[in-house]
Amino acid sequence: MEFAVSKRLQELPPYLFVEIDKAKRKAREEGRDIIDLGIGDPDQPTPQFVIDALSKAANDPAHHRYALDQGMLSLRQAIARWYHRRFSVILDPDAEILPLIGSKEGIAHFPLAFINPGDCSLIPDPCYPPYKGGTIFAGGKIALMPLLAKNDFLPDFSKIPSAKLKKSRVMYLNYPNNPTGAVCSLDFYQNAVEFARGNNLIIISDLAYSEMTFDGFRPPSIFEAEGAKDVAVEFHSLSKTYNMTGWRVGWACGNRSLVQGLAKVKSNLDSGIFSAIQVAAAAALDANDDFVRSLCAMYQQRRDALADGLGSLGWKVKKPKATFYLWVKIPRGKTSIEYAAMLLEKADVVATPGVGFGSNGEGYIRFALTQKEERIREAVDRMKKTL
């Protein structure tokens, strides 16, 4: 017996990575050697000192009980210390920080706290898909902010239609950006804060890739901009910085009313992070930067290998200053879905079609730097031979 799903589910586009995973599984079942440059899941292990901290905490029966929704004070304090050390930003661990089961949880649930049916979310396009999904689940409407190469993949606030702007309640920003790899300046954040103040907007800043950086670049936090705490909440994650995607640990921070609104949603729909993981997360945040520096050096080598390799094929590739993605304009004649399918079919290389991140992603492919350098070079060689 089949049942009709809700209208909200019907409004959702197919989740991009699920479709890609189906294609990968089919290829592997056929015995093909797939080089997966699709989903941004680090191929390196979590650092041993973090695993050791988890192991010690997991053997303590005190951590075997329900975890509090607001997270352990020790983790919130570690987050506050990290923010101050990294950005010179002061956060109140008691009221301005909320640990999350991965930042995706909070990003998707946040609209439930602040969007009423019919309200609009200003969402960059292309974007990380949960920005749209969270808005739809809250009964909100999507107002797109195109990210275009001519604007360095930054939204142009002056081009937002006034009718949409009047109905908008929140605005998502994500720099360093997934999928484009673009970065922004502190001046951009300052302008965004002033724009939000003038239009009664909440800014949702997704800072998940702030530590995946190259060539000496150091991205800012929105809270380095004057007045940002009046209008903004920022999300962060240990997934990429410490190779902890499967651990599911992140946080929201910033304006206390925004953080507490999300906390109320969380207390009704979710639970706290396993407290032994919180202990390990605090250990990661309190560590020195040696691990992160070595990780970035590795990704920079991979970035250069792929960018230079694609350049040898005649592709114009701009090396990003951050994230572990390359956002590459494909040759004309095929859609991004068709081109990604051709890469898989002819070269056994998985890449993500740009249109999966939004209509303005058409014409692009995203490559993730989540394979060893020799496998990246092999992927380029396969493309040379088969395309």
Give the domain ranges of the chain: 7-45+290-386, 48-286
Tens of pLDDT, residue by residue over 192-201, are 999 999 999 9
Instruction: Identify the pLDDT of residue 60.
Output: 84
Q: How far apart are CA 298 and CA 45, in angstroms?
A: 13
Tens of pLDDT, residue by residue over 279-315, are 999 999 999 899 999 999 999 999 999 999 999 988 8
Q: Is the pLDDT of residue 209 over 80?
A: yes
Mean pLDDT on 98-126: 95
Q: Which CATH class is domain 48-286?
A: alpha beta
Q: Is the pLDDT of residue 131 over 80?
A: yes
Determine contact, residues 174/153, Cβ cutoff 8 Å: no
CB atoms within 10 A of CB 363: 18
Contacts for 119 with CB less than 8 Å, ≥ 6 apart: 140, 141, 167, 168, 169, 170
State the pLDDT confidence band at 269, using cuts at 50, 70 and 90: confident
Instruction: Identify the pLDDT of residue 226.
Output: 97
Q: At CB < 8 A and 24+ separation, what contacts does 155-161 make?
A: 155/122, 155/124, 157/191, 157/192, 157/195, 160/122
CB atoms within 10 A of CB 76: 24
CATH 3.90.1150.10 fits 7-45+290-386, yes or no: yes
The most confident of 4-8, 170-174, 310-314, by mean pLDDT: 170-174
Tens of pLDDT, residue by residue over 10-33, are 887 766 667 777 777 887 888 888
Instruction: Identify the pLDDT of residue 16.
Output: 64
Q: How far apart are CA 165 and CA 200, in angstroms?
A: 10
